[in-house]
Amino acid sequence: MSTTNEAAATRARAVIPGGVNSPVRAFGSVGGAPLSIASASGATITDVTGREYVDLVASWGPALLGHAHPDVVVAVQEAAARGLSFGASTPGETELAETVIERLTVRGVQLVERLRLVSTGTEATMTAIRLARAATGRDLIIKFAGHYNGHSDGLLAEAGSGLATFALPGSAGVPAAVAAQTLVLPYNDLDAVRDAFAAHPDRIAAVITEAAGANAGVLAPLPGFNGALALVAKEHGALLILDEVLTGFRVSAAGWWGLEASGVTGSTAWLPDLVTFGKVIGGGMPLAALGGPAAIMDLLAPVGPVYQAGTLSGNPLAVAAGLATLRLATPDVYARVDAAAEVVATALHEALDAAGVAHVIPRAGSLFSVAFRSDAVHDYADARDQEAWRYPPFFHAMREAGVSLPPSVFEAWFLTAAHDAPALDRILAALPTAASAAASATPPAD
Ligand SMILES: Cc1ncc(COP(=O)(O)O)c(C=O)c1O
């Protein structure tokens, strides 16, 4: 191949803002030439120079099975041969909804009765909020600092993901009147939630929370936090929107909710009202969804008065990829992803320990990240209070050794079922040198 990553980025920057179609891809916080990808297969990704890396980004989550799983590719090819898009319903959409409903039924509790397919996680959360406002007749929403719930206007304040990476407090272009409808609270702080409800009686439509925070590095909910949020919201006539766009079908067959629900019996008052999905549900294609009880979901047009639509919603290729992925996502797949995550997280800890680098490895199921600080991370303030400058040299040493990490310390690492022993060995072999690079990093001069 005749190009380089630098050359590809330079050419892209001339015609695409920042050369990227999603900001974190620009490598802004780690520096160096962003990867320009030619192909990916299984646990590896290959750049335009032909260099192959063991990949720990997994398309930011969707590639649960690894890249380009042959059965998923065939399912998409077969769907493509039948037509790319019809602008009409297909049996596959119903099958996908039935599959999700079945998976989200844990210990007899059916969390989702109706599912609406959209194309991105942003649309799913945006629609969930519109529904919650319609259902409650209220305007305010609560979100948590450091959570990323998509890029709709009301959800960008103190958001995670690219906004954490670039240390942005929010986005320009959001009307002040819209921003004023969002109350941003510290994560894992139930008192702050109770205080907000007390300060705004009968005005809060919904609390939206990542099922387990994973966009400011991993920020796991404290045990019982999500359930308590649901109770507090219900007590005040508001809804809880559980954002499983990142965790859904990734950390278990029923997402983060599946992990929490498997330990609980009795009252259902701790259940979320609406759930949003993305990433794995589309198997690498643009597909996302929101679901919940019929009483709320049937407020959506054409049954109810809440409008939501999409030319490519339920696209047949995306549905085929999602269905094939979910069919293949057996308990064995989750066991393999969990085991691979354990191996890498343990080795990461040992390598940083051996190099004398203060760190913690926040975890939520198979998701984990690294934070260069000594104390546990519970909220966004904790996540930002770290020696983040140790990450770029660590990242580049891993890249040099043929391992592609998320290009920001504020992102989770994603394992897949395709990370077999040779792939894990390559990661483990790279870690000691990278840990030394983190150890000898120096803070930037102010
Ligand atoms: C928890 C969460 N919600 C929503 C979104 C938005 O999804 P999308 O990028 O498909 O719009 C993301 C994306 O990373 C996410 O992690």
Ligand 1 midpoint to CA 438 (Å) = 29
Indicate whether residue 93 lines ligand 1 (CB < 6 A). no
Ligand 1 midpoint to CA 119 (Å) = 11
Percent helix, percent strand, percent coil in the chain, to nearest 5: 40, 15, 45
**Which structural domains are found in the chain, ordered by start?**
1-64+390-426 (3.90.1150.10), 70-328 (3.40.640.10)
Q: Which of 47, 53, 55, 279 is catalytic?
A: 279
Global pTM value: 0.97
- pLDDT at residue number 162: 75
Helix (H) or strand (E) holding 97: helix 91-103
- Minimum-distance ligand 1 atom for the alpha carbon of 286: 10
| Mean per-residue pLDDT, 132-157 | 96
350-372 pLDDT, tens digit each? 999 999 999 999 999 999 999 99
Query: What average pLDDT does the chain have?
Result: 95
- Minimum-distance ligand 1 atom for the alpha carbon of 211: 1
Confidence of residue 158 (pLDDT cuts 50, 70, 90): confident
- pLDDT at residue number 261: 79
- Minimum-distance ligand 1 atom for the alpha carbon of 288: 10
Please say whether the beta carbons of 151 and 172 come within 8 A: no
53 catalytic, yes or no?
A: no
Indicate whether residue 148 lines ligand 1 (CB < 6 A). yes
382-423 pLDDT, tens digit each? 999 999 999 999 999 999 999 999 999 999 999 999 999 999
Cα distance between residue 238 and residue 236, in whole Å? 6
In the chain, % of residues over pLDDT 90:
90
- pLDDT at residue number 167: 65
Indicate whether residue 127 lines ligand 1 (CB < 6 A). no
- When comparing pLDDT for 250 and 166, which is higher? 250
Indicate whether residue 247 lines ligand 1 (CB < 6 A). no
- pLDDT at residue number 430: 98
- pLDDT at residue number 39: 98
Cis (ω within 30 of 0) for the bond into 302? yes
89-99 pLDDT, tens digit each? 999 999 999 99
Indicate whether residue 209 lines ligand 1 (CB < 6 A). no
Q: Whose CA is nearest to atom 7 of ligand 1?
A: 121
36-68 pLDDT, tens digit each? 999 999 999 999 999 999 999 999 999 999 999
Alpha helices in 137-285 (DSSP H): 162-165, 176-179, 190-199, 225-235, 255-261
Q: Among 166-180, 220-234, 315-329, name the one with the lowest average pLDDT.
A: 166-180
Indicate whether residue 121 lines ligand 1 (CB < 6 A). yes
Ligand 1 midpoint to CA 120 (Å) = 7
Indicate whether residue 215 lines ligand 1 (CB < 6 A). yes
- pLDDT at residue number 163: 74
Ligand 1 midpoint to CA 225 (Å) = 21
- pLDDT at residue number 262: 66
- pLDDT at residue number 266: 61
236-265 pLDDT, tens digit each? 999 999 999 999 999 999 999 999 876 666
Two structure tokens written together for 217: 């590095």
Confidence of residue 186 (pLDDT cuts 50, 70, 90): very high
Please say whether the beta carbons of 289 and 124 come within 8 A: yes
In the chain, % of residues over pLDDT 70:
97
Nearest to 395 by CA among 368, 428, 435: 435
